[in-house]
Chains A and B, each alone.
Chain A
Amino acid sequence: MGRYIARRLMQGFVVIFGVTVFVFVITRLVGDPVKFMLPLSATPEQRAARSAALGLDKSIPVQFVHFIGGLIRLDLGESTYVRGHSALSVVFDYIPRTLQLVGLGMLFAVVLSIPLGVLASRKPGGPTDRILTTLSLVGLSMPQFFLGFVLLIAFTVKLHWFESGPGPWTRNLILPALCLSLPAIGRLAIVVRSSMIDELNTQYVKVAKAKGMTQRRILGVHAMRNAGIPYVTLLGWEIIRALAGYTVVVEAVFNWPGLGFMAKTAIQNQDFYLIQAIVFVIAVIVVILNIVIDIAYKLLDPRVDLQ
């Protein structure tokens, strides 16, 4: 296992390096932060002077060497948007709110999707199954920007139960977390349902039934564990998608100032350094999550060979 993790970490380094270099090239090719830093009325001379001060007047290969030098020292430069702060420090200022959002959202997803899926799988095609499957489909096909505004209008504007913007999680985080989790709940519940149905049709479940084991024990102990592998795969994917994508939308709608919110701002202002730092940190998290998921397979099913 140790050797396996070491190998995956090495692969991870290559991935992170590749992604970071890719972002470097893309941002340098298409963007110019100086355009956004200075007021519209700044003269061409003032713009050129700022470019030179940032080193952006150098050729891309020269900038690249400089960039790699910084990357090795984990120095990703100073943000051009959040002035006077290193890009990485801006990421660490904003990422806790994103982790809270994804954490609570995925907690909702896990706590709701498993019972819903199991319930639906007990009588495939029955009324409960149909209702739950339909609801799941509605949930997973609802765009989050739309769902978010519906939730905001209902629970914030009309009912005053929650607030938007930063604040204590009981008032400000539950709604965005719910918005983040609803599509995930739909997808996860459908997977729980179908893998449970598969498992319930296997020989070992029939044997267990035949020897008089209770339904609850069959479901809870035997079938669920075997149904766990596809579930964990999808859950990992949901977490990654949430971190690297959905939070951008949800944080914008609910004005929850996390990393997704900052990513949008960084892109709008073509802040190379901040974009790079955000992608870098997300890439590190994704690599680690993938390793965790692999280890989870092994724990769920000892037959899985990590080598």
Chain B
Amino acid sequence: MKKRYRLFGSLIALSFVAAACGSDDKASSGATAGGGTTAADSTTAGPTGDTTPTSDGTVTAGGEISIALGSEPTSLDPYLVDDGAERAVNDNIYETLLTRTPTGELEPGLATDLPTQVDDLTWQFKLREGVTFHDGSPFNADSVVASINRMVMLIADKKTDNDGFYSSITAAAKIDDTTVNITTAKPDGVMPARMYWLKMIPASAETTEDLSDSPNGTGPYKFVSRTVGSDVKLAANTDYWGDAPSIASVTYEFVAEGGTRLAGLKSGKYDLITNLPPQDVDQAPQSAKVQGQEHPILILDSDEGITADPNVRLALNLAVDKQAIVDQIFGGFAAPDAGQLLSPSVLGFNDSIDAYPYDADRAKQLLTDAGVAGQTIQLVGEAGRWLNDRDLLEAVAGYWKAAGLDVKLDILEFGAYLDVLFDRDSRADAIYVSSSNDILDPDRQLSTYYQAGGIGSSNTNTELSGLIDQGRQELDPEVRATTYKEAVKVAYDEAYFVWLVNNQDLYGLSTRITWTPRVDSKLLVKEMSVSS
């Protein structure tokens, strides 16, 4: 009798062990999971706003919010990875020498002013006094030198993904406690923008291998906890040198599925979700949008094949109705790309260029005149990485077909797609890519897609290449802007790309949160507030 039930007994016992593990989780992470639900609780917490103890036991007025990001940070060390989720969190913990206004203008951050030029290779920064890191150590010239040194070292050791941002920097030297000189290998006009990107760490962190477990910056929020796979929590820094942030604490959760993010927003679990799909805007309690930096384009091979003829490239532009794509595929939450890959908020944006108009008849005529009507054009893309990419590619293929081409549309798995994008030996006729601009400087985008030899470029125009080099090494921002305006005009006239649209960044918001999105897509909690 006893033996008979042993098996089922043990099976059930096993299951209870598993379930018990579940309840352990509840106990240990109860506080962790609370962030999401207390967000809802504080809505009912009375009109004066509730008070919430922060990590160091002090009490700050303000609410708690919960933000859902599309992915989990792969590390919390801003020096090692180039990762949007990492930045979403660390932009609140760390600060940089320069910052940008919500509309993209550079302005002083931890520096007191924009840098001055000592000579062509040396930039001088004056530093803000009385700023401390969260661990109490001072921010001064030593921390700036340590920050530069750590990045230079990581680049030399091939350990960082960020060498593209900083490889021009050679060293930093302390002049006095509040003055630092940063030197570059060549004249580097991108330098101020780079210092809007490099997060400052304390002097003691210079040789730390991995900062992921203990983020320590000067920012308005302090790191509280990280549960791998689950969440990251921050609390307001009561000793912050700037205006005191109004939100007391923030919990980041990571939700890959857009539908699940939206469900969490609607149920009140989240106050802010990123990458709200255009088709879901009506469902969100509140939404916010800004003309961002995302530009889906098609790179045309200007050297070989059917697209080597400039008139064919022009026809491929004219054949596509960008406004219809804006309306039908992006729900109106985009603008036609003004023929230049750069957003209006980026230096070098040329406002004298307009998107190629939609003129199907002329496109057809150009293709016929070029003698390529009925020929095959290869269009390579991927699906799932960028917003509504499959629909976009299918729409373009449809327009090109209507113009009289036989379109071979290859929608590849992302890895295989990258092999095509990066293939320097033979370029596909047309490659889809959605290009973004992180630091709001044109150099990297143009070096990658416009400049001959860039990993995503399909032209060998030496004039264009020269202009991009010139723009990089020019130190006067006004002259840089003029140079880039000229560069994008060259590419426009040659129709090296089919410029499609410039997306708006869309965010879903709860009804109680107030926030205006920024053109650099930073999620700065200090710029948010909640009503009680």
Question: Are B445 and A107 in touch, CB under 8 angstroms?
Answer: no
Question: Are B256 and A107 in touch, CB under 8 angstroms?
Answer: no
Q: Count residues on chain A whose CB falls below 8 Å from chain B CBs.
A: 71
Say whether A131 faces chain B, with CB atoms less than 8 Å apart.
no
Q: In the complex, what's the smallest C-beta–C-beta distance from B335 to chain A, in angstroms?
A: 23
Chain A residue at minimal CB-CB distance from B436: A40
Say whether B164 faces chain A, with CB atoms less than 8 Å apart.
yes
Interface set, chain B 445-476, CB cutoff 8 A to A: 445, 447-448, 454-456
Question: Are B22 and A100 in touch, CB under 8 angstroms?
Answer: yes
Say whether A24 faces chain B, with CB atoms less than 8 Å apart.
no
| Assembly CA distance A160 to B269 (angstroms) | 10
Known interface pairs A44-B422, A44-B424, A255-B260; A166-B229 also in contact (CB < 8 Å): yes
Say whether A97 faces chain B, with CB atoms less than 8 Å apart.
yes
Determine which of A82, A157, A296 lies in contact with B263 in the assembled complex, contact meaning CB atoms within 8 Å.
Answer: A157
Chain B residue at minimal CB-CB distance from A156: B263
List, in ascending order, chain B residues with CB within 8 A of A258's CB.
229
Say whether A246 faces chain B, with CB atoms less than 8 Å apart.
no
Say whether B103 faces chain A, with CB atoms less than 8 Å apart.
no
Q: Count residues on chain B whose CB falls below 8 Å from chain A CBs.
A: 72
Comparing B5-13, B53-61, B139-147, B349-357, the segment that makes contact with chain A is: B5-13
List, in ascending order, chain A residues with CB within 8 A of B257's CB.
252-253, 255
Q: In the complex, what's the smallest C-beta–C-beta distance from A259 to chain B, in angstroms?
A: 10
Say whether B82 faces chain A, with CB atoms less than 8 Å apart.
yes
Chain A residue at minimal CB-CB distance from B209: A84
Determine which of B209, B444, B455 lies in contact with A44 in the assembled complex, contact meaning CB atoms within 8 Å.
Answer: B455
List, in ascending order, chain B residues with CB within 8 A of A39's CB.
82, 161, 164
Question: Are A82 and B75 in touch, CB under 8 angstroms?
Answer: yes
Question: Are B164 and A106 in touch, CB under 8 angstroms?
Answer: no
Chain A residue at minimal CB-CB distance from B261: A255
Question: Are A99 and B267 in touch, CB under 8 angstroms?
Answer: no
Determine which of A41, A46, A50, A268 lies in contact with B414 in the assembled complex, contact meaning CB atoms within 8 Å.
Answer: A268
Say whether B305 faces chain A, with CB atoms less than 8 Å apart.
no
Known interface pairs A84-B77, A100-B25, A168-B30; A156-B267 also in contact (CB < 8 Å): yes
| Assembly CA distance A108 to B361 (angstroms) | 64
Chain A, residues 124-147, CB within 8 Å of chain B (1/0): the string is: 000000000000000000000000
Question: Are A84 and B230 in touch, CB under 8 angstroms?
Answer: no
Say whether A272 faces chain B, with CB atoms less than 8 Å apart.
no
Question: Are B17 and A42 in touch, CB under 8 angstroms?
Answer: no
Say whether A62 faces chain B, with CB atoms less than 8 Å apart.
no
Say whether B175 faces chain A, with CB atoms less than 8 Å apart.
no
Question: Are B18 and A41 in touch, CB under 8 angstroms?
Answer: no
List, in ascending order, chain A residues with CB within 8 A of B7's CB.
228, 232, 296, 299-300
Question: Are B415 and A169 in touch, CB under 8 angstroms?
Answer: no
Determine which of A30, A82, A169, A262 lies in contact with B26 in the assembled complex, contact meaning CB atoms within 8 Å.
Answer: A169
List, in ascending order, chain B residues with CB within 8 A of A149's CB.
259
Say whether A102 faces chain B, with CB atoms less than 8 Å apart.
yes
Chain B residue at minimal CB-CB distance from A149: B259
Q: In the complex, what's the smallest C-beta–C-beta distance from A296 to chain B, in angstroms?
A: 6
List, in ascending order, chain B residues with CB within 8 A of A75's CB.
none
Known interface pairs A40-B456, A94-B229; A168-B26 also in contact (CB < 8 Å): yes
Chain A, residues 204-244, CB within 8 Å of chain B (1/0): the string is: 00000000000000000100010010001001000000000
Chain B residue at minimal CB-CB distance from A103: B18
Determine which of B21, B269, B414, B421 lies in contact with A99 in the assembled complex, contact meaning CB atoms within 8 Å.
Answer: B21
For the complex with contacts A41-B447, A44-B422, A168-B26, 12 further pairs of A-B residues with Cβ separation under 8 Å are A36-B418, A39-B164, A93-B229, A106-B18, A157-B263, A157-B266, A166-B29, A166-B253, A168-B25, A171-B33, A172-B33, A268-B414
15 of the cross-chain contacts (CB-CB < 8 Å) are: A31-B415, A41-B164, A49-B158, A157-B263, A157-B266, A165-B253, A165-B269, A166-B33, A167-B29, A167-B36, A168-B29, A170-B26, A255-B260, A257-B230, A299-B6
Would you list the 10 A-B pairs with minimal beta carbon distance, nearest first?
A: A103-B18, A107-B15, A257-B229, A169-B22, A168-B26, A166-B230, A83-B75, A53-B158, A41-B448, A167-B33
